[in-house]
Amino acid sequence: MFQKKLVSVVIPCFNEEKNIDRTLEAVLELSKNHKFDFEFIAVNDGSKDNTWKVIGEYSEKYPNITGINLMTNFGQSAAYQAGFDSSKGDYIVTVSADLEIPIENVNRVLEYLEEGYDFVNTNRVGRWGSEEAERAQKSQKANELISRISGVSMQDRGSGMKGFTKVLVDNLKLYGEMHRFIPDYLTVYGAKMTEFDVEFKDRDFGVSAYKGHKRTIKVVLDLLTLAFLLYFAKKPFRSMPGRLFSFTGAVITGLGGLIGIYLAILKLLGYSIGNRPLLIVSVLMIIVGIQSMMMGMLGELMLRVYFESSNRKTYVIRTVSKR
């Protein structure tokens, strides 16, 4: 008997008591007579209003709705991760609770996933009004900078509607504020990605929780983390820490040794070397170089402990074919 694929729809919520019921109604309507089966996971990220109460009422009424209530406001990355960890679908789609992106676009996301894409992003067209020109310019510059770091060309990394295959979600771990860089971090796994335009609609109720100058500062700090993570995660045993520290330490030690040999020759020729600054430089270089090589070795050991203790692999398998 043919079994439909399951789609998990993850809906992070923070103070969305006036929106979440409309969102749940919209996704329930979308799932009627669909070629996919659906499960809906609404994650309440420590809301201060009645968001959780509304989610609870819907989860009691509809068996395919699961409510997850976080103890406090952990942030959007944690809300995504909680939904991902609970998902069972072949495809996972994230949906904003504010209905800024029409729900019917979920169908197009699923079409792209069916075509073989691992990750589908949406670009909110028209989200910047004339009074928000400065924010639009900042957002564009930020996207350009992130694209240079990761090599991924995406116009709207902050869009709430995204689609994933199960294999990506099983290997994706979000920490801090890394939800902003999901497309970029997915390059670690060689994911096939695409993006399409969607209509943007202003929310009817509430305000966005992601505005202000503090957000800009966080993004700048997270960019530094992203640059390191991408370089480290793509080639963990070819870059940091062993290769860098060990190579640097070997070079410093070698130079210090050469200086020491030069001074030893001068000593044999009868010159005084006790008051020469080069003697101190040679000794320091040898000591620092050996310490650097030891740091590299310890780093390699910690790297192996990390992978083995967390049962994480240095590769990701897309599919397996066998007789």
Region 227-252 average pLDDT: 69
Q: What's the rounded Cα separation, in Å, for the pair 97 and 22?
A: 9
Q: What residue type is 20 in one-letter code?
A: I
Look over the chain and give the mean of its residue pLDDT values, rounded to a whole number.
83
Please state, in angstroms and rounded to a whole number, the distance separating the CA atoms of residues 199 and 70.
Answer: 31
Q: Which pTM was predicted?
A: 0.74
Compute φ and ψ for 217, nearest 5 degrees.
-60, -45
Q: Name which residue leads in pLDDT, 88 or 211.
A: 88
pLDDT at 130: 47
What pLDDT digit, counting tens, does each position of 260-312 carry? Answer: 999 999 889 888 888 888 999 999 999 999 998 888 777 777 766 766 676 66
pLDDT confidence of residue 321: 42
Kindly state the average pLDDT of the residues 16-45.
Answer: 94
b or e along 20-47 (b: 16 or more beta carbons within 10 Å of the residue's beta carbon)?
bbebbebbbebbeeeebebbbbbbbbbb
Beta strands in 49-186 (DSSP E): 65-69, 91-94, 119-125, 162-165
| SS3 (DSSP) at 144 | helix
pLDDT of residue 212: 47
Cis peptide before 236 (omega within 30 of 0): no
Per-residue pLDDT at 80: 94
Nearest in space to 58 (alpha carbons), one of 96, 19, 88, 86: 19
What is the C-alpha to C-alpha distance for residues 119 and 117, in angstroms, rounded to an integer? 6
Give the pLDDT band of residue 317 (cuts 50, 70, 90).
low
Buried b (16+ CB within 10 A) or exposed e, 266-277: eeeeeeeeeeee
Q: Could you give the angle at the alpha carbon of 305 between the alpha carbons of 300 and 311, nearest 5°?
A: 130
Residues linked to residue 44 through DSSP beta bridges, in sequence order:
13, 69
Confidence of residue 65 (pLDDT cuts 50, 70, 90): very high
Position 193 confidence tier, pLDDT thresholds 50, 70, 90: very high
Taking the CA atoms of residue 312, residue 316, residue 319 and residue 323 in that order, the dihedral angle to the nearest 10 degrees is -60
State yes or no: pLDDT of 40 exceeds 80: yes
